[in-house]
Amino acid sequence: MDDAKTLFNEMDADNNGFLDSKEIKHFIEKISPIKPSEEEIDYMISEIDQNQDGKISFEEMELILQSREVLDINNLPKLPSLSGDYPDTNFLIIPSSGNIGFMVAKGLSKVPNFKVKCGIRKTTNPEIVKLIKNLDHVETVEVDNFSLESLKESMNGIDKVLTYFPSTTLSLWETAISNVLEAAREKAVRCVYWISAQHDVHDNELEVFKHVQKAVDMASSINQPLVEIKPNNLATNLYSNRENVIESAQIFIGYNSNVKTVITDPYDVAEFTMKIMAEPASDHEGKKYSITGPKALSFDEIAEQLSKAIQHEETLGRRRVSNRNKLIAMFDKADVNNDGSLSKDEYLECLRQNGFSDKNANRIFELSDTNSDGKLDENEFVKAIMNFYDRKNSEDSEKITVVEMDEGSFRGFCSNAGISDDDINILLSLYDSFNSGNCGENAVNTDDFYNVMGRMPKSFEEFIRENVGAFMHSHWDIVKSHSRADLLIKASFQ
């Protein structure tokens, strides 16, 4: 923070202790790898500029820095820009509605001589479709993976195709990949990139192994250049429990909570996929790449890490909320007679309307009426709420618990989600494999990723740090989420 203070003073050309919006943008660009837009700069200023003069003191800027609002302002991870000279290439991403497809499409579309076509389904949520259509330099096309004609039409003029299918439809993978590859072969697509699964760690007698292997065998039988990318358990599977975490601090799973499984960050899968798709197909065709995280974790450990991350963000969030214009707006609304102060009755009613108990409200008033005149001025009011939040910061948040569903409960859960009986049976066999330890430390495979990317894949800790806002139902979640609505929509509807 000392370095930030030094930089702040250097940019404060007139030595008045404040930066204007242009200076603030320059300051943020110096201390952060992320380059915020004008809209984001305006947003941050409005969040902490208490007197609305468009200027920020270092103390106010410090709130942003300590909250990591700058670093996380675009909390959906951004893939690094591709560097180098690339030939003109036309890509098709089917589907583009998942996190991986969306990130790959967005990354490839940044290269001037790349053209990207995004496949969407009739059933794709309209909000997600809107996000895809808002991507720059991207064309959308409606595609049905179970219609050969639809696939062939979408592949007109396409050089490379990325495809993958939900793990909740494993019974259909064989048909789906067959259709994609047949269409690609007929349309002379240079190469297909298929994100499948690291199924070879499972017992070959299990249904999950058999169904993925059937799809793999089918793919191998079709004379079409193919690259297979095989991730393990994706961290974003945790999003299926988002509402449960928010509403009841619970995570529901279909296997033992103390069993370790290797967790893979979808950001890594997307970055890896984008890189090899941009390179010559001849460098990769026919290869199979395994991608996993660097460590296996149990859901007990996941719940503990998520609990700590949420508590940390809530602490930072309360600090920011207690410094926002909202407090002054609360005061002005409660000051019904406009005399610049709140009587005890006005104060208590204000706090009741904002969710405070009478006991807390009375205690806060007694501690805050520093001159004992029976009323609070604006400064006393703001300080009172700030002190309340500071005390809250020392309290532990509710810890997330893991609920292990028995087979009957799991079947009911999946059935209500529209998953077929065949796919429920496959998922149950997958969880049998988890319980047997087949997807633990023995499944960790970082070599392929490191050899291509030159770095280790991200840990689950990093995933949580970047995505914790998706599991929070507070004002801080709204602040953190204002420019990451795309990720939250995907978490809700994917």
C-alpha closest to that of 293 among 440, 105, 393: 440
Structure tokens at 128: 């997600």
- Identity of the amino acid at 197: A
Side chain identity, residue 320: R
The whole-number pLDDT of residue 485 equals: 35
At residue 33, the pLDDT reads 52
Q: What's the rounded Cα separation, in Å, for the pair 297 and 139?
A: 39
The pTM of the full predicted model, rounded to 2 decimals, is: 0.71
User: Concatenated DSSP letters for 324-382?
Assistant: SHHHHHHHHHH-TT-SSEEEHHHHHHHHHHTT--HHHHHHHHHHH-TT-SSEEEHHHHH
Of 97, 91, 85, 159, which Cα lies nearest the Cα of 129? 97
Distance, in Å, from the CA atom of 282 to the CA atom of 285, rounded to the nearest integer, reads 6
Beta bridge partners of 341: 377
Task: Copy the structure tokens of residue 465.
Answer: 């740090």
pLDDT of res. 64: 55
27-75 pLDDT, tens digit each: 666 665 555 566 556 656 665 565 566 677 776 666 555 543 333 333 4
In terms of Cβ atoms closer than 10 Å to its own Cβ (0-12, 13-18, 19+), residue 39 is exposed
Instruction: Give the per-residue pLDDT at 326.
Output: 65
The Cα–Cα gap between 245 and 299 comes to 13
Opening angle at CA 258, ends 252 and 259, nearest 5 = 95
- Count of residues making up the chain: 494
Residue 194: its H or E element: strand 191-195
Kindly give the parts of the chain with pLDDT less than 70: 1-4, 21, 25, 27-54, 59-79, 314-326, 354-356, 386, 388-398, 472-494
**Pairing between β-strand 56-57 and β-strand 18-19 as defined by DSSP bridges:** antiparallel
Q: Identify the pLDDT of residue 92.
A: 97
Give ∠ CA 188-192-194 in degrees, rounded to 5: 160
Residue reference for tokens 């991403």: 93
> Which of 146, 193, 203 lies closest to 173 in space, CA to CA?
146
Looking at residue 416, what is its pLDDT?
A: 85
In the numeric block, the tokens 């970055």 are attached to: 271
User: Contact, 219 vs 184, CB < 8 A?
Assistant: no
Two tokens at 35? 């380059």
Q: Residue 343: its pLDDT value, please?
A: 87
Q: Smallest Cα–Cα separation from 33: which of 4, 88, 72?
A: 72
What is the rounded radius of gyration, in angstroms, for the C-alpha atoms of the chain?
Answer: 26
Q: How far is CA 370 from the centre of its chain?
A: 45
* Residue 236, pLDDT score: 82
